[in-house]
């Protein structure tokens, strides 16, 4: 699977992953879980025609790619993805993707909260 995307997205994803390291899937994120989320997001984004779903999956793709780049680095990324592909099962993919979405939403909220604390609303 090709994982080449513009550098700005990768930089943003890595920064977001660094800001909210504890916001991942479940209480204790693992490399395997993050890799599974990346694989699922990529596969689903390639299979859906729904533009809103594609945007959400695109965001999840880059979020988990950024986390993995921080966790394992570029050299070990292909092996982490290959391992995730071996473990994923069709009967658990839906539940897993929902958990992945929760991780992305938590990261988005944490980033939004961090942004608000850096730039408070005038008059408050």
Instruction: Report the share of the chain in percent with pLDDT over 90.
Output: 23
Kindly state the tokens that stand for 46: 């390639």
Instruction: Say what the pLDDT of residue 93 is.
Output: 86
Asked whether the predicted pLDDT for residue 111 surpasses 60, the reply is yes
Higher pLDDT, 11 or 42: 42
**Shortest CA distance to 53 belongs to which of 40, 64, 65?**
40
For 55-77, what is each residue's pLDDT tens digit?
888 889 999 999 999 989 999 99
Number of domains in the chain: 1
Asked whether the predicted pLDDT for residue 35 surpasses 70, the reply is yes
Q: Is residue 98 a part of any domain in this protein?
A: yes
Q: Is residue 82 a part of any domain in this protein?
A: yes
Instruction: Say what the pLDDT of residue 121 is.
Output: 67
Instruction: Say what the pLDDT of residue 4 is.
Output: 45
Instruction: Say what the pLDDT of residue 26 is.
Output: 38
| HSE-up of residue 2 (Cα within 13 Å, Cβ side) | 4
Instruction: Report the share of the chain in percent with pLDDT over 70.
Output: 73
- Residue 23's pLDDT band (cuts 50, 70, 90): very low
Cβ-contact 108, 72 below 8 angstroms: no
48-41-69 Cα angle (round to 5): 150
Q: Is residue 53 a part of any domain in this protein?
A: yes
How many C-beta neighbours within 10 Å does residue 104 have? 23
Q: What is the 3-state secondary structure (H, E, C) of the chain?
A: CCCCCCHHHHHHHHHHHHHCCCCCCCCCCCHHHHHHHHHHHHHHHHHCCCHHHHHHHHHHHHHHHHHHHHHHHHHHHHHHHHHHHHHCCHHHHHHHHHHHHHHHHHHHHHHHHHHHHHCCCCCC
Residue 76: domain span: 30-110
Q: Is residue 7 a part of any domain in this protein?
A: no
């Amino acid at each position: 699977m090709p994982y080449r995307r513009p550098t700005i997205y990768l930089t943003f994803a890595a920064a977001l992953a660094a800001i909210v390291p504890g916001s991942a899937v479940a209480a204790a994120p693992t490399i395997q879980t993050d890799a599974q989320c990346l694989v699922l997001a990529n596969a689903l984004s390639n299979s859906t025609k729904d533009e809103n779903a594609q945007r959400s999956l695109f965001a999840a793709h880059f979020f988990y790619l950024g986390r993995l780049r921080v966790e394992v680095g570029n050299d070990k990324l292909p092996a982490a993805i290959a391992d995730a592909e071996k473990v994923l099962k069709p009967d658990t993919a839906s539940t897993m993707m929902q958990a992945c979405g929760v991780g992305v939403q938590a990261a988005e909220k944490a980033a939004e909260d961090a942004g608000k604390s850096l730039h408070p609303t005038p008059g408050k």
